[in-house]
Amino acid sequence: MRLFLKYMLSLHLAKRYLFVVCCPVLWLACTNPSKHVEVEFDLPLSGDSRIELLNAKTGKPLATDTMTDGKMKLRIDSVFPMVYLLNISWDRELVNPAELRLMHKYQEEGLPVYQLQHLIYLAPREQSHYLVRLNIPVSQQEIEQAYQDQDPRVRLVLDKASGKNVRLQEDMETLYFEAKRDFFLQKDSLSQLMYSYIDASDNQRAAVLHQQIATLWQNKMFPWLTQQQDVFVSAHPDSPISAYVVYNRVFNMEDFKTYRYLYDKLTPSAKNNHFGQELMYYEKKLKQ
């Protein structure tokens, strides 16, 4: 996950270069900071862990710090309303050799770590205090096991998200969680059935299930998730979170034309926020 995140952020920065050069005034306006926020953490972790808050659009760190025993209040004095990636990581004692080879391939330093990640919307005028917890009561050992199993059912949440757009971003994270949870459970069920066919030397049925597993996300979870996102944008056309949803779809698929219908649903205020302005760049590029 960390490798994928760094790759996507670096790719995104490369794509943004032309836009930043051509629109310096717009870029400066989007980086104007506002008031402070306090992010409080209450997690069942022991020892030291690293906290990072990264701008979801540029990858630029907003704040980094070290948390001890899962408890901390992080004050950030200059915060522009934006979707940020919260990343919490801590050292691992056991490392898979395949992970080390992958890190060497991408020239990453250090050792693999345990991670918890969550996209949050920080907006000082909407909400100044944010409380980060787990969605269910589990131990650190259970968190680490879930991470190794790629089990998404243990995740971070914002407790008492009171700001309108803060809450809407939490709603979007919940939708993504539901898609990942269903994918994990269905993949596990299909895998067990596939192995039973392999044990019974029924290679033909095993091959069919293998193909179903390989296309499960693309054929089932992704269509459901995009449908839910479309409903969300239609219900909240003036929200910066809707602009982020559309922007994220366009950026990941590298296709503005296909998702123009979503962009057209946004109100002028949503189109004028930082993500909407980025979409305007894609719109102008399409007209050229």
Joined tokens for residue 155 = 């995740």
Per-residue pLDDT reduced to its tens digit, 62-74? 999 999 999 999 9
- Alpha carbon distance 123, 121 (integer Å): 6
Instruction: Classify residue 128 by burial, with Cβ atoms within 10 Å: 0-12, 13-18, 19+.
Output: middle
For the entire predicted model, the pTM comes to 0.82
Helix or strand run (H / E) with residue 129: strand 129-134
Q: From first to last of its 288 residues, what are the pLDDT tens digits of the chain?
A: 444 444 444 444 434 333 333 333 333 334 444 589 999 999 999 999 999 999 998 999 999 999 999 999 999 998 999 999 999 999 987 767 776 677 666 666 667 899 999 999 999 999 999 999 999 999 999 999 999 899 999 999 999 899 999 999 999 999 999 999 999 999 999 999 999 999 999 999 999 999 999 999 999 999 999 999 999 999 999 999 999 999 999 988 878 888 999 999 999 999 998 898 888 887 777 776
Tell me the CB-side half-sphere exposure of residue 172, using CA atoms within 13 A. Answer: 28
Structural domains of the chain in order of their starting residue, each with its CATH number: 1-160 (2.60.40)
Joined tokens for residue 255 = 């296709």
Find tokens 């698929």 and name the residue: 253
Own/partner contacts of 216-224, CB < 8 Å, gap of 24 or more, are 216/183, 216/186, 216/187, 216/190, 217/183, 220/183, 220/186, 221/179, 221/180, 221/182, 221/183, 222/179, 224/179
- Alpha carbon distance 62, 45 (integer Å): 23
